[in-house]
Structure 1
């Protein structure tokens, strides 16, 4: 655009130069004599040639020069805009490469180097996003296959034991109670697997919104831990809580309760039997820091990076009785970030910790 404007200014100066020099300036007389001479060569008398010159050029000099200047201006504008149009075609080609998911690098003119770099950045970002979505979708599909396969096992057991109970009317009471207990256990597991299918569907459809209010963190954590007592007892786990009871949080207590439930469920799934789960909470500047820690197999660093991705499960969870849909930590991360907080995982020396930082309300003394 600057080049086009510059060319137009040059054309205007040339037009002014022609008007001033050739028509009104020092070259007026030579120009007039040349035109009259040309007319005479066509067979006119001198007076007729002079009259025709005045009629055509002298009386219409402004119109002629204006028309010439306008034509020259259009030509110069065309030259300038043709280059600009070429730039637009190059950019269009680059955008088309992005839409076509081409693996080739976008190359534009040197003048468009900043735009070239930006388009290549966008191309790589979109490529990475597509790759992540494809991996997530593949993990989801794999998980559904695993769950569908896992559904057969408890269902087959339930049918088998119920069939035995139905056929053996004179079965000893002790054996009958044993089969009923196994059937009930398998039926519960079947219900858990069905809930995981619903969890997968809900995650894709839900839009998490917050209903914020002020509450004490310690009270919330105690309520959540109380609900896990039967689970802790079943696996022989101890749970300790050391949380500053002055910490006030301004957030959605129901959503944050779900976060801690997911973290505790994850800790139960991957901790050693008869080990300890610890929950700590302290004031760190303007934030509250909460740590959920369990003793279990150390998670490799490359797997730690993927823990918060949806539908991601550690390999050993696929064959376990308590492996979930791989959504708990992804949902926890989303809820924490909606509260302008952060969550990260750390695993070393047989201990795995999830560290949460949440903005807090100043405590009331």
Structure 2
């Protein structure tokens, strides 16, 4: 910051020196012109005439006063003039600084007022102009992101509310049939009970998504770290998703060279891996293999989830970790979640001091989680 202010300081110094030189030159010229130069006689005659006409003094007295006040006190008048010049210089310099402060204050007001106009400052404050415009752009992006997230949340709430009616209507309908037809055949009754139970599970899932949307904005991530055998955790995660893999003929294989232990919150990290693997299963091709691998380098552990499926466009890759964003907006809430899984995963990983990223090309998508091995 000191170097950035150097240009401003140099300009101010040059301006002050320039004004000082001009003031001294003007003062010197006035001094020699009025007291010792070509204007000395006209000035003396004017002063004497003033004393005679206004003060009613005789010529000799007026002449004597002129000599005492001006001719015998040249150094005093020069000192007074120099002090006045310094005051003028100080006022001009202060005015310049005040102008800078006014411009900066106006620019800050533009930030608070969320003005659409770009901030412009003098050339010597170009560094500050760049900083303020960067802040302005970041604030605008945050406002847009917040607005888009709020809109996505509102859309999801509407979708969920609409979808809740479907299983609820079915549940009420089948229960009404069971209540009205007391002598219903056993096999038909079992069929209706099974359907009602499935609809109840779906209704529970939708209600849980409602709670998840609310809880996301209220929760604070508190880590309870311990030493975790990563090999065992990833194998366990893959095994738990076996029932979701089988219907589509998919497989999840874990490949790790050697044993890796990390210091992390096991429960929350498992939630990260569950969210990523669930997402990979949903978007992978049928009969494909999801590869899970891990390696440690320079006190950092990298965990990768690789799957084959439709390539994710670059513009969507930048948004998949934002809350309430769903990769495929055409997917109904029957198949898609509330769009919070990857956003929550991102916050958990960041709380560990790590990062989460995704790449997608040539029908291959890779999610990579970096966690410090020791923290």
Range class of TM-score, shorter chain: 0.7 to 0.9
Asked if 1:39 is matched to 2:48, the reply is yes
Structure 2 match to 1:69: 82
Cα pair 1:106 1:120 within 8 Å, conserved: yes
Asked if 1:346 is matched to 2:352, the reply is no
TM-score by length of 1: 0.81
Partners of 2:86 and 2:105 in 1: CA distance: 28
Say if 1:168 and 1:296 are closer, same or farther in 2 by CA, change over 3 A.
farther
Q: 1:142 aligns with which of 155, 159, 183?
A: 155
Superposition deviation, residue 45 in structure 1: 5.4
Structure 1 match to 2:200: 187
Aligned residues: 359
Superposition deviation, residue 12 in structure 1: 8.2
Matched residue SS, 1:108: coil
Matched residue SS, 1:77: helix
Asked if 1:319 is matched to 2:332, the reply is yes
Structure 1 match to 2:119: 106
Q: 1:214 aligns with which of 200, 205, 227?
A: 227
Q: For 1:207-243, what per-residue CA distance to the aligned partner results, in whole angstroms no more than 9, with x for missing partners?
A: 2232333221112223434444444456665433223
Asked if 1:52 is matched to 2:69, the reply is no
Structure 2 match to 1:6: 17
Say if 1:349 and 1:12 are closer, same or farther in 2 by CA, change over 3 A.
closer
Partners of 1:11 and 1:99 in 2: CA distance: 42
Say if 1:108 and 1:16 are closer, same or farther in 2 by CA, change over 3 A.
closer
Partners of 2:286 and 2:171 in 1: CA distance: 27
Structure 1 gap segments, 5+ residues each: none
Matched residue SS, 2:221: coil
TM-score by length of 2: 0.79
- Which segment is superposed worse, 188-197 or 315-324? 315-324
Matched residue SS, 1:356: strand
Say if 1:40 and 1:166 are closer, same or farther in 2 by CA, change over 3 A.
closer
Asked if 1:204 is matched to 2:217, the reply is yes
Say if 1:216 and 1:161 are closer, same or farther in 2 by CA, change over 3 A.
same
Superposition deviation, residue 320 in structure 1: 5.1
Cα pair 2:313 2:360 within 8 Å, conserved: yes
Say if 1:116 and 1:284 are closer, same or farther in 2 by CA, change over 3 A.
closer
